[in-house]
């Protein structure tokens, strides 16, 4: 197998070590990466060993996690307990700090998160959230930075700069914005009855971050019946006409989890994956359902054209970072972790 031929499927593993089935699945040419969950993490040493084991099987492999902070942080023990990013918007709102000061704090948070994750061999955390907190969505409310797209864009840009200092790319989610629907797409398929012009505010942070060169976008499992009959992540209109052509996005499109209920109406797992890839996704996430993942691997014909491969490979981490054992001794980490003292004052 040519290791440069990174497949489109990102899936998970069973536990704290690789099983024989995990090893066989990871060798499949359609697989391009793995996403870690809390069940896969016991200690920094253990996770580092798992990452090394995976690299021994697939050297050119994208290893991912959701390490946003707040209630979405998969690696906790021995890691810095990261705050929800909403705290940044709250500090601007309360005038605890100026917007410029909050930018510096946001950059440190992005750097701190990325350094710790990368020190164990993980390439990418799917962050930041660019959804607006419109006071509607319970699932996004404490994950969204703010309701003002300008504030979200400014603070998210700073966060991404911090990630980049650690050689990590960024993923803006959940396009075109999950903050204006109440229902949780993990549980149902939310519908948004607004027209395209009515959602321009939600799209603004994505537009700004695309102009600033963000590497990846994750579309939402939301359907806009007045715009297109398909949920965004399965819609060629949204991914090609809007994201690629209208907004000029050149980076990687990573589907949200195909196991979510918001994706179930498309069909079985293979049909979901084919539809998402045909619509324009470069990667598809299949989490917490091994049978579904195998259904995908058996039911798709992955694309390996030059442009698609370049997009997939662009999400691999760049450069070297200190190992976990050395991390706390480095000036870069020491500078980044001072943000926690500033946040204690803010809280």
- Could you tell me how many helices (H) and strands (E) the chain has, helices first? 14, 10
Virtual CA dihedral for 272, 274, 279, 282, nearest 10 degrees? 100
Q: What is the pLDDT of residue 232?
A: 96
Q: Which ranges in 166-305 belong to alpha helices (H)?
A: 200-211, 236, 269-279, 290-299
In a domain, residue 131? The reply is yes
In a domain, residue 201? The reply is yes
Residues 6+ apart with CB under 8 A from 240: 279, 280
In a domain, residue 2? The reply is no
Domain harbouring 162, CATH code = 3.20.20.300
SS3 184: coil
Q: What is the pLDDT of residue 347?
A: 58
Gap between the Cα atoms of 12 and 33, Å rounded: 9
Q: What is the pLDDT of residue 187?
A: 59
Q: What is the pLDDT of residue 185?
A: 62
The total number of structural domains that make up the chain: 1
In a domain, residue 235? The reply is yes
Gap between the Cα atoms of 294 and 264, Å rounded: 16
Closest among 62, 60, 50 to 23, alpha carbons compared? 50
Residue 264 CB-density burial (10 A; 0-12 exposed, 13-18 middle, 19+ buried)? middle
Q: What is the CA radius of gyration of the chain?
A: 19
Closest among 210, 211, 213, 231 to 222, alpha carbons compared? 231
The one-character DSSP state at 221 is: S
Reported as type and span, the H/E element at residue 96 is none
Gap between the Cα atoms of 90 and 203, Å rounded: 21
The pTM score is 0.95
In a domain, residue 20? The reply is yes
Q: What is the pLDDT of residue 137?
A: 66
Residues 6+ apart with CB under 8 A from 200: none
**Beta carbons within 10 angstroms of residue 26's beta carbon:** 18
Domain that holds residue 220: 9-346
Q: What is the pLDDT of residue 267?
A: 94
In a domain, residue 127? The reply is yes
Q: Which residues are catalytic?
A: 186, 256
Question: CA–CA distance from 81 to each of 72, 109, 301, 338 (Å)?
Answer: 11, 11, 41, 13
The one-character DSSP state at 233 is: G
Closest among 109, 171, 174 to 137, alpha carbons compared? 174
Q: What is the pLDDT of residue 277?
A: 97
Q: Residue-wise pLDDT tens for the chain (347 aa)?
A: 455 689 999 999 999 999 999 999 999 999 999 999 999 999 999 999 999 999 999 999 999 999 999 999 999 999 999 999 999 999 999 998 999 999 999 999 999 999 999 999 999 999 999 999 887 767 777 889 999 999 999 999 999 999 999 999 999 999 999 877 765 566 567 889 999 999 999 999 999 999 999 999 999 989 999 999 999 999 999 999 999 999 999 999 999 999 988 788 899 999 999 999 999 999 999 999 999 999 999 999 888 999 999 999 999 999 999 999 999 999 999 999 999 998 887 65
Closest among 176, 169, 129, 174 to 153, alpha carbons compared? 129
In a domain, residue 1? The reply is no
Map tokens 């290893």 to a residue. Answer: 63
- For the chain, give the longest Cα–Cα distance: 55
In a domain, residue 3? The reply is no
Is residue 66 a contact partner of residue 72, using CB atoms and an 8 Å limit? yes
Q: Which ranges in the chain belong to alpha helices (H)?
A: 20-26, 44-57, 86-94, 99-118, 138-141, 149-165, 200-211, 236, 269-279, 290-299, 306-313, 324-327, 331-337, 339-346
């Amino acid at each position: 197998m040519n290791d440069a031929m990174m497949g489109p499927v990102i899936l998970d593993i069973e536990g704290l070590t690789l099983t024989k089935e995990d090893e066989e699945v990871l060798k499949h040419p359609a697989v391009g990466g793995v996403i870690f969950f809390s069940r896969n993490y016991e200690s920094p040493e253990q996770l580092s060993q798992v990452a090394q084991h995976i690299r021994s099987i697939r050297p050119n492999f994208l290893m991912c996690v959701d390490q946003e902070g707040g209630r979405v942080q998969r690696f906790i023990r021995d890691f810095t307990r990261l705050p929800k990013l909403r705290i940044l918007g709250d500090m601007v709102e309360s005038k605890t700090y100026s917007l410029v000061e909050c930018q510096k704090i946001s950059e440190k948070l992005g750097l701190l998160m990325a350094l710790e994750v990368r020190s164990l061999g993980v390439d990418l955390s799917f962050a930041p959230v660019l959804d607006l907190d419109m006071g509607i969505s319970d699932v996004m409310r404490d994950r969204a930075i703010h309701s003002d797209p300008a504030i979200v864009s400014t603070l998210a840009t700073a966060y991404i700069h911090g990630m980049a200092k650690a050689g990590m790319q960024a993923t803006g989610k959940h396009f075109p914005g999950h903050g204006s629907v109440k229902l949780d797409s993990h549980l149902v398929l939310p519908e948004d009855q607004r027209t395209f012009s009515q959602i321009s505010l939600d799209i603004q942070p994505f537009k700004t971050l695309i102009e600033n060169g963000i590497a990846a976008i994750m579309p939402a499992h939301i359907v806009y019946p007045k715009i297109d009959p398909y949920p965004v992540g399965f819609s060629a209109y949204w991914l090609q006409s809007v994201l690629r052509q209208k907004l000029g996005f050149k980076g990687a499109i990573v589907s949200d989890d195909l196991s979510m209920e918001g994706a179930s109406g498309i069909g079985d797992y293979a049909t979901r994956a084919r539809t998402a890839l045909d619509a324009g996704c470069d990667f598809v996430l299949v989490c917490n359902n091994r049978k579904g993942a195998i259904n995908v691997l058996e039911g798709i014909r992955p694309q390996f054209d030059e442009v698609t491969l370049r997009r997939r490979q662009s999400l691999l981490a760049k450069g070297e970072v200190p190992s976990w054992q050395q991390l706390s001794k480095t000036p870069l980490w020491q500078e980044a972790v001072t943000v926690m003292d500033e946040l204690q004052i803010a809280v």
